[in-house]
Amino acid sequence: MTLRRLLVASAVALTTLVPAGTASADAPSVRLVAASPQVTLYRGYRSVPLDLGVWAASAGGAFELRVSQADYDQTPTAVQVDADTGAVLRTVPGELLARRWAGLSGFLRVRFAAPSGRIYAKLFPFCPGSFDQQRLDDTGPVLPTYPNVCTTFSPFTKGMVWGIDPGWAVNPLSDQFGEGDGTAMNIPDGMYAVTVRVMPPYDDLFAIPADNARVGLTARVVTPKARHPGGTAAHRSTSPAPDGPVPTITNPDPATLPDLVGLPGWRVDIFHHNARDYLAFAATEWNAGPAPLVVEGFRRPGTNIMDAYQYFRDAQGTVVGRASVGAFDYDVRPGHEHWHFEQFARYSLYDLVHHELVRSKKQGFCIFPTDAIDLTVPGAAWQPWSFGLFSVCGTQTSMWVREDLDVGWGDTYFQFIPGQSFNVTALPNGWYKIRIRVNPLGALYETSTTNDVQDRLVYLGGRPGARTVLAAPWHGIDP
């Protein structure tokens, strides 16, 4: 079905939609805001990035959408909820959700009109959880509370929260969607009248008045003699305040513990190197809560080893205790050069009678959130204090590191180099299991260990030097 037909069908469906909870006319909504009546757009290598200064702000309170799927065999559903009570205010038809949790499909139309009458127009999805967030006034929180992502590359995402705080706005044309649309257009140099508008059926669904659903401005498109630097400074949440001395405990309250979950291997492939066949895969471990996993390392004087401690925090974020959980080791190899926690996960290849045949040499981990898995679970961190490598993994001169995995987030590692991937050159054709095991030594404290292990069934075929692999579907994911 084409997008145009999809939007028409959705508009028809909305005529019979009965919103749950508060009447939609009273629910928070969104409004478009233009920062300036005129902008200059600089051409990139081939097209024009749409740095229009158009923002989507909340109207009438916090605008919050919750997107989830009951299991991996179902398609995601979305509702707008009251930010204070969680009551459902509106239901979003499933056909309006963009692929891979990338927001609302076909939400915005950007239209460039040249003086000659030539029109350039394009539809874009809308991610309320834009990475580009800015404050409009002081009616809302000092820092944004909603996630600054809508989508991840993980196939295991089950729940997301998208939202805009009161007094805040997001860039609806930021480059983060993953639908292939991009946030640029191929437009000749010149002056244009630009219109950005919210498309039907969204203006009706979210009760957006006409003057809030459309903005106009003038844009001059130029090809710079030198590359225009452009760009927007990224917001990073501040880290928690340093903690004072805390007691050592060995029986922490379960409410202060994470629940570490192993997910099946994915992006399974075979590659060939020096006449050998290697089974490559990605592995994700995530934290289902209720508390974050926080591991800190303190360097032993004169060594490349840090003693590792797991810290336990209550619901208010106060540290109530710690326990020794192993060590950090500094990895001196080029491309690594940071501190690895040695007891986080283990990756192995098993036969069907439970014999371990190959173990990955990946034994050290720099723990940080890379993929949102389920931001609807209790205690989920919508704004993790560390996101991406940054400096959380330390340097060769570090005396201390703090690595964490917030509730709702996963940490993904790609095993695509010899040693970390499995050498399967000499194995006979047949079925095997890629086993992902989180907390393999039981050193970390967590609420449950029953979900630490997950297997992925794969079939090895071909011949040595030209092996093949087929991964059995797991709930329809990544066959």
What whole-number distance in Å separates Cα of residue 411 and Cα of residue 287?
9
Which of 202, 222, 242 is where one domain is finished? 222
Residues 457 and 317 in one domain: yes
pLDDT of residue 229: 38
Q: Does one domain contain both 178 and 296?
A: no
Angle at 259 between CA 257 and CA 263, to 5 degrees: 160
Is residue 427 within 8 A of residue 460, CB to CB? The reply is yes
Q: SS3 of 171, please?
A: coil
Quick one: CA torsion of 54, 56, 57, 60, rounded to 10 degrees? 130
Q: Give me the residues paired with residue 214 across strands.
A: 197
Of 201, 222, 243, which residue constitutes the final position of a domain?
Answer: 222
Q: How far is CA 200 from CA 5, 10, 162, in A?
A: 12, 9, 20
pLDDT at site 447? 97
- Is 363 within the bounds of a domain? yes
In whole angstroms, what separates CA 395 from the centre of its chain? 26
Residues 35 and 78 in one domain: yes
| CA 79 to chain CA centroid, nearest Å | 19
State the distance between the two ends of the chain, measured CA to CA, in whole angstroms: 24
Residue 142's pLDDT is 75
Question: Is residue 270 classed exposed, middle or buried when 0-12, 13-18 and 19+ CB atoms within 10 A define those classes?
Answer: buried
Residue with tokens 């056909």: 95
Sort 89 into a burial class: Cβ within 10 Å, 0-12 / 13-18 / 19+. Answer: buried
**Tokens matching residue 139:** 């009616």
At 241 the pLDDT is 39
Q: Please give the chain's pLDDT, 479 residues, in tens.
A: 333 333 333 333 333 333 333 345 689 999 998 888 888 898 887 799 998 889 899 999 999 999 999 888 888 999 999 999 999 999 999 999 988 788 999 999 999 999 999 999 999 999 898 877 888 877 888 788 998 888 777 889 999 999 999 988 898 987 654 433 458 999 999 999 999 999 999 999 999 999 999 999 999 999 986 443 333 333 333 334 334 468 999 999 999 999 999 999 999 999 988 888 999 999 999 999 999 999 988 888 777 888 899 999 998 888 899 999 999 888 766 555 678 887 889 999 999 998 999 888 766 678 888 889 999 999 998 887 654 334 467 776 677 788 889 999 999 988 876 557 899 999 999 999 999 999 999 999 999 999 999 999 999 999 888 899 999 999 878 75
> Does residue 38 share a domain with residue 172?
yes
Among 170, 204, 222, give the residue marking a domain's end. 222
Token look-up 């949790």 returns 101
Residue 229 forms part of a structural domain: no
* Residue whose pair of structure tokens reads 């895969």 in the numeric block: 281
What DSSP line would sit under 373-436, residue for residue?
Answer: -BTTSTT--SS-S--SSTTTT--TT-SEEEEEE-TTEEEEEEE-SBTTBEE-TTSPSEEEEEEE
User: Do 290 and 401 belong together in one domain?
Assistant: yes
Q: How far is CA 14 from CA 8, 20, 28, 30, 123, in A?
A: 10, 13, 18, 18, 20
Give the type of residue at 128: P
Helix, strand or coil, per DSSP, at residue 96: helix
User: Do both 21 and 135 map to the same domain?
Assistant: yes
Examine residue 234 and state whether it is found in any structural domain, yes or no: no
Q: Are residues 413 and 456 in the same domain?
A: yes
- Inter-residue contact 221 to 187 (CB < 8 Å): yes
Distance from C-alpha of 264 to C-alpha of 290, rounded to nearest angstrom: 22
CB 201 within 8 A of CB 14: yes
- The rounded Cα 313 to chain-centroid distance in angstroms is 24
Whether residue 228 is contained in a domain is answered as: no
Question: Cβ distance 392 to 386 under 8 Å?
Answer: yes
Domain co-membership, 199 together with 297: no
Strands 305-313 and 293-299: antiparallel
CATH (domain of 285): 2.60.40.2360
b/e per residue 183-220 (b: at least 16 CB within 10 A): bbbebeeeebebebbbbebbbbbbbbeeebbebebebe
Residues 217 and 263 both lie in one domain: no
Which residue in this structure is represented by tokens 């919050």? 64
Cis peptide before 290 (omega within 30 of 0): yes
331: exposed, middle or buried (Cβ count in 10 Å: 0-12, 13-18, 19+): middle
Beta bridge partners of 45: none
- Assess contact for 79 and 24: CB atoms under 8 A: no
For residues 68 and 206, membership in a common domain is answered with yes
C-beta separation of 347 from 362 below 8 A: yes
- Whether 296 is covered by a domain: the verdict is yes
Judge whether 355 lies within some domain. yes
pTM recorded for the entire structure:
0.74
Return d(Cα 31, Cα 57) in angstroms, integer: 5
81: containing domain = 3-222
* Whole-Å CA distances, 214 to 7, 55, 309: 18, 11, 53
Predicted confidence at residue 419, as pLDDT, reads 59
Task: Establish if 81 belongs to a structural domain.
Answer: yes
Total structural domains within the chain: 2
pLDDT at 330: 81
**Could you give the dihedral angle defined by the CA atoms of residues 143, 145, 149 and 155, in that order, rounded to the nearest 10 degrees?**
150
Pull the structure tokens for residue 108.
């915005």
| Residue 400: alpha-carbon gap to chain centroid | 27
Whether residue 322 sits in one domain with residue 372: yes
Is 404 domain-assigned?
A: yes
If asked whether residues 46 and 166 sit together in one domain, one would say yes
